[in-house]
Amino acid sequence: MTRLCEIRVPDVGNVAEIDVVEVLIQAGDVVELEQTVATLETDKASMDLPSSAAGTIQQVYIKPGDTVSEGSLIATVLVSDAEVSVAETPAPAAVVEKAPEPVSLPVQRAPEPKAPDVLQSPEVSGEKAHASPSVRLFARELGVDVAKIKTGSGRKGRILKDDVKSFVKKVITEGIVATGAGIPSIPAVDFSPYGETEVQKLSKIKRLTGQNLSRVWLNLPMVTYHEEADITEMEAFRNALNAEKAKGELKITGLMFIIKALVAAMQEFPSFNASLSADGESLILKKYFNIGIAVDTPNGLVVPVLRNVNNKSVNELAVELAEKSEKARLGKLLPGDMQGGCMTISSLGGIGGTSFTPIVNAPEVAILGVTRAKMQPIWNGKEFLPRLMLPLDLTYDHRVIDGAEGARFMATVKYYLADIRRLLL
Ligand code: CAO
């Protein structure tokens, strides 16, 4: 046997107009006795309206924005006789007058664990936020200070449960990418006391690159290994090659040989031409050799990919890189031009530098940094000889590559660069 019970607005102390702020039930919902079914608000306070019966909601008679008064029908509940949970008299909704926090909250809990700073507001207390007790409770359970939400989507900017959910979602997705979950964010600073400033919006490339770099920084245990390669003979060969070229013909830079030497080393060390599987349990070894080249553009850093480098000549690579870096600088690269890389080279040699620590372009497992070659006195066991030394910086994902393997890999790159005829063998 079942019977129909009504949930009505109880006596809230002679208030003629009560606003319905939020309705938390719909037909078909199963409710328990005392479960909050709606949030009401008078000009003095807000209150949670508890269900006066346990059962299945048959019909809901209110919606947010409605005005009700004492005795108004809120909903009907189908109660089975097996369920004896029907309050004799409707449970009082909440303390209404002069009560900043209505009493319809459950019993006080043990101190809650501290939520991450991104969810908590250091300056503003949640008590001042425009939200009902049930929403405050919900927010507290998730460790969110409602004051951080500032404005809600309810009437007069009231914060609703959905606003709390969206806030948490936003913090989780953006927070992890931008600052890392649980990592305190850098507080905003007012620079005006120190002098004049100007706000310049970051380009889309810079914003996306920033997010990606932060993600990599937080996820990969990276090590950078520094090495120097003797490129004296390589440079002599390059100059001879360029001297043979007709006027206006594309010149070959040292980078083309570095690309070739890198791929030769990757062929000997397959773990450098790999990606870690998403579960971190296996290595995906690649049988193709695509090299990404970091290109500096007015809008930020982009990484076009040179495909199947092992099958291309130095001249072909020079032409392809010239085309792609030109496209990059004009902002004309297509997404496909930047996908499928196996390892990246970041060359600052045209600008200068003695060393730096590039960040791995995950899911690749290593990146090679190059700075400016310099003539140095090198001891050959008998005398110092002037040699052109190229500084190289290898950053690798230490989950995949061990220190000794990194050092051996760089010794191989160095071996090929010292005498590029070895690339023919
Ligand atoms: N040592 C000495 N000279 C070098 C050198 C090195 N390591 N690398 C390049 N050079 C020389 C070149 O030979 C060239 O000299 P000439 O004009 O006399 O021929 C000059 O510097 C300019 O070279 P380049 O930079 O135009 O050409 P590249 O093939 O070496 O590099 C590219 C191409 C696209 C990688 C480069 O132009 C570029 O954009 N570099 C910046 C990458 C970057 O920003 N990385 C940072 C990522 S981390 O934030």
Per-residue pLDDT tens digits for 332-373: 999 999 999 999 999 999 999 999 999 999 999 999 999 999
Atom of ligand 1 nearest to the CA of 328: 34
The reply to whether 271 and 355 lie within a common domain is: yes
- Do 22 and 156 have their domain in common? no
Give the SS3 label for residue 344.
Answer: strand
Tell me the C-alpha distance between 361 and 356, whole Å: 15
pLDDT beyond 70 at 166 = yes
For 11-66, the pLDDT digits (tens) are: 877 777 888 888 999 999 999 988 989 888 776 677 888 899 999 999 999 998 89
- Contact (Cβ atoms closer than 8 angstroms) between residue 231 and residue 390: yes
What's the whole-number average pLDDT of the chain?
Answer: 86
Alpha-carbon span 376 to 382, nearest angstrom: 16
Q: Kindly list the distances between the CA atom of residue 420 and the CA atoms of 241, 360, 399, 413, in Å, as whole numbers in the listed order.
A: 13, 26, 31, 10
- Total count of domains within the chain: 3
Question: At 8, which CATH number?
Answer: 2.40.50.100
How many DSSP H helices and E strands does the chain contain?
Answer: 7, 19
**Per DSSP, which regions of 166-324 are E strands?**
222-230, 274-276, 283-285, 291-293, 295-297, 300-302, 305-306
**187, part of any domain:** no
R_g over Cα of the chain = 33
**Beta carbons within 8 Å of 82's beta carbon, 6+ residues apart:** none
Q: Which atom of ligand 1 is nearest to the CA of 346?
A: 45
Q: What is the pLDDT of residue 107?
A: 29
Across residues 152-156, what is the average pLDDT? 79
Whether residues 270 and 332 fall in one domain = yes
Are both 30 and 90 inside the same structural domain? yes
User: Strand 305-306 and strand 274-276: pairing?
Assistant: unpaired
Whole-number percent of the chain with pLDDT over 70: 86
Give the lowest-confidence range in 27-41, 141-155, 248-262: 141-155
DSSP helix/strand/coil, 6: strand
Domain limit, last residue, from 96, 127, 146: 96
For 206, the token pair is: 């810079």
Residue 191 lies in a domain: no
End residue of a domain, out of 41, 65, 96 = 96
CA distance 119 to 271: 40
Residue 313 has pLDDT above 90, yes or no: yes
- In angstroms, the CA 96 to CA 424 distance is 87
Q: Is residue 398 annotated as a catalytic residue, yes or no?
A: yes
Flag whether the pTM goes above 0.85.
no
Catalytic residue among 44, 307, 372, 398: 398
Same domain, 29 and 64: yes
**Boundary-marking domain end, from 134, 151, 182:** 182
* Same domain assignment for residues 272 and 137: no
Closest C-alpha residue for ligand 1 atom 25: 350
Write the CB contacts of 219 (distance below 8 Å, at least 6 apart in sequence): 362
Q: Is 348 in the pocket of ligand 1 (CB under 6 A)?
A: yes
Query: Which amino acid residue places its CA nearest to atom 21 of ligand 1?
Result: 350
Whether residue 101 has pLDDT greater than 60 = no
Q: Confidence class of residue 177 from pLDDT cuts 50, 70 and 90?
A: low
Q: 329: how many CB neighbours lie within 10 A of its CB?
A: 15
- For residue 7, tell me if it sits in a domain: yes
Task: Mark whether 363 and 304 lie in a shared domain.
Answer: yes
Beta strand ranges found along 9-137 (DSSP E): 18-23, 30-31, 36-41, 46-50, 55-60, 67-68, 73-80
Structure tokens that stand for 213 in this block: 């770099």
| Ligand 1 midpoint to CA 409 (Å) | 23
Q: How far does residue 347's CA lie from ligand 1's centre (Å)?
A: 6
CATH code of the domain covering residue 145: 4.10.320.10
Domain that holds residue 142: 117-182
pLDDT confidence band for 160 (50 / 70 / 90): confident
Query: Do residues 365 and 331 lie in contact, with contact meaning Cβ atoms separated by under 8 Å?
Result: no
Cβ neighbour number for residue 127 with a 10 Å cutoff: 12
Distance (angstroms) between ligand 1 centre and the Cα of 227 equals 18
3-class SS at 404? helix
Does residue 152 form part of some domain? yes
289: Cβ–Cβ under 8 A, 6 or more apart, which residues? 263, 266, 267, 273, 308, 309, 310, 342
pLDDT(111) > 60 = no
| Pocket of ligand 1 contains residue 209 by CB under 6 Å | no
| Cβ-contact 306, 259 below 8 angstroms | yes
